[in-house]
Homo-oligomer: A and B are copies of this chain.
Amino acid sequence: MDFDLTDDQRLLKDSVDRLIADRYSFDQRKKYMAEKDGWSRDNWAQFAELGLLGVSFDEAYGGFGGGPVESMLVAEAFGRGLVLEPFFATVVLGGGLIKRAGTDAQKMAMLSEIAAGTRLVAFAHVERASRYNLADVQVTATKSGDGWVLNGEKSVVMHGDCADTILVTARTAGSRRDRNGIGLFVVDAKAEGLTRKGYPTQDGLRAAEISFANVRAADVLGDPAGALPIVERVIDEAIAVLCSEAVGLMHEMHVTTVDYMKQRKQFGRAISEFQVLQHRSVDMFVALEQARSINMFGTVMAGDDDAKSRSRAVSATKVQIGKSGKLIGEEAVQLHGGIAMTMEYKVGHYFKRMTMIEALYGSTADHLAKVADSGSLFA
């Protein structure tokens, strides 16, 4: 066991940290948000150039060849910067699915374009009625000639409004909540019959509702009736990446609060001199360190081939991240006071993103129930 970064990891971390320092001040971020897609194509090109868009892909497909630790480093920095670009949708979800489910040819075709920044991907899985049940798929795919035709509606497709390619889960067999009978289809965003309605999410990112009316899939990834285990695995990996992003958010909220406390004067002295506020910011710090620690565990375990121990560890991580994040977010706002309630100040935006991560792919309560049902963490 070694907590030190390798030379390559150190280089990666330095370059993504520098990127955030140079390009992701709060004011710069506001400008990106005002761009057409709600994020910056210029940044995207820069990410590609630094190798971030292929951070977790094999070098054979134009990737950086990194593993979970590399993704963690990038995501944490992106959290600190509150990055708007569709890294999570395209690289983590889209790239992850293709990597895990695709043939060599499919990977060659798509991963290399993702890594190069020339293909945006979104993952359309959640439906209006599915809540957090990953097996609850009602969109249908029916065989037509040698291809598949999709019908139905998908919800909150993260960055679905700008994606070039949409990966869609659809039911090819079985009934609504069956684990079997789910396929994963590659759909061109411009395909006939596909309509999408983009909108901002609470955290300033983008999503889309997408409907499919006899949409012809361009391709299928893996077994058209057996995609669920891969979807679950990629979502576990994605949760680990979200948790890393959350660590970045928490870090930034904590640091910003401590700095603010040192500058802000009330009753003639810096509020950092009030012992009550000191102790509360210490509790934020402890929560942050606990989150950072378990995130390392979750990051490693997200790569585990055993579905049960992988999923239990990832859920445990999301629980601690959710618990720490709620405390840190709410206290960051409270210790700042009114200013943190304004759009003009950065802390509120971190708090909102943290809140959305808590709700993404299962809340703290849902994941705690999952851990509780799957035995000891110290097995």
By a beta-carbon cutoff of 8 Å, the part of chain A in contact with chain B is: 274-276, 278-279
When distances are taken between beta carbons in the complex, the residues of chain B under 8 Å from A276 are: 275-276, 278-279
When distances are taken between beta carbons in the complex, the residues of chain B under 8 Å from A278 are: 276
In order of increasing CB-CB distance, the 6 nearest A-B pairs are A275-B275, A275-B276, A276-B279, A276-B276, A274-B275, A276-B278
Min CB distance A167 to B, Å, is 41
A275 to B277, CA, bound (A): 9
Look across to chain B and name the residue whose beta carbon is closest to the beta carbon of A274.
Answer: B275
A129 to B274, CA, bound (A): 53
Number of copies: 2
When distances are taken between beta carbons in the complex, the residues of chain B under 8 Å from A279 are: 276
Min CB distance A335 to B, Å, is 14
Min CB distance A271 to B, Å, is 12
When distances are taken between beta carbons in the complex, the residues of chain B under 8 Å from A274 are: 275
A275 to B272, CA, bound (A): 13
Look across to chain B and name the residue whose beta carbon is closest to the beta carbon of A279.
Answer: B276
Min CB distance A123 to B, Å, is 37
A279 to B279, CA, bound (A): 11
| 6 residue pairs A–B, Cβ–Cβ below 8 Å | A274-B275, A275-B275, A275-B276, A276-B276, A276-B278, A276-B279
Look across to chain B and name the residue whose beta carbon is closest to the beta carbon of A277.
Answer: B275
A278 to B274, CA, bound (A): 12
Look across to chain B and name the residue whose beta carbon is closest to the beta carbon of A278.
Answer: B276
A13 to B278, CA, bound (A): 44
A279 to B280, CA, bound (A): 11
Min CB distance A238 to B, Å, is 33
A149 to B279, CA, bound (A): 64
A276 to B275, CA, bound (A): 6
Look across to chain B and name the residue whose beta carbon is closest to the beta carbon of A273.
Answer: B275
Min CB distance A147 to B, Å, is 51
When distances are taken between beta carbons in the complex, the residues of chain B under 8 Å from A275 are: 274-276
A274 to B276, CA, bound (A): 9
Min CB distance A281 to B, Å, is 12
Min CB distance A89 to B, Å, is 39
A279 to B276, CA, bound (A): 7
Please indicate which of the listed interface residues A274, A276, A278 has the most CB atoms of chain B within 10 Å of its own CB: A276
Min CB distance A246 to B, Å, is 28
A275 to B278, CA, bound (A): 10
A34 to B275, CA, bound (A): 45
Min CB distance A270 to B, Å, is 14
A278 to B279, CA, bound (A): 13
Min CB distance A268 to B, Å, is 15
A167 to B11, CA, bound (A): 79
A300 to B275, CA, bound (A): 42
A145 to B40, CA, bound (A): 94
A274 to B279, CA, bound (A): 12
A275 to B273, CA, bound (A): 11
Min CB distance A30 to B, Å, is 37
Min CB distance A144 to B, Å, is 50
Min CB distance A266 to B, Å, is 13
A275 to B276, CA, bound (A): 6
A276 to B276, CA, bound (A): 5
A278 to B276, CA, bound (A): 9
Min CB distance A82 to B, Å, is 32
Min CB distance A170 to B, Å, is 39
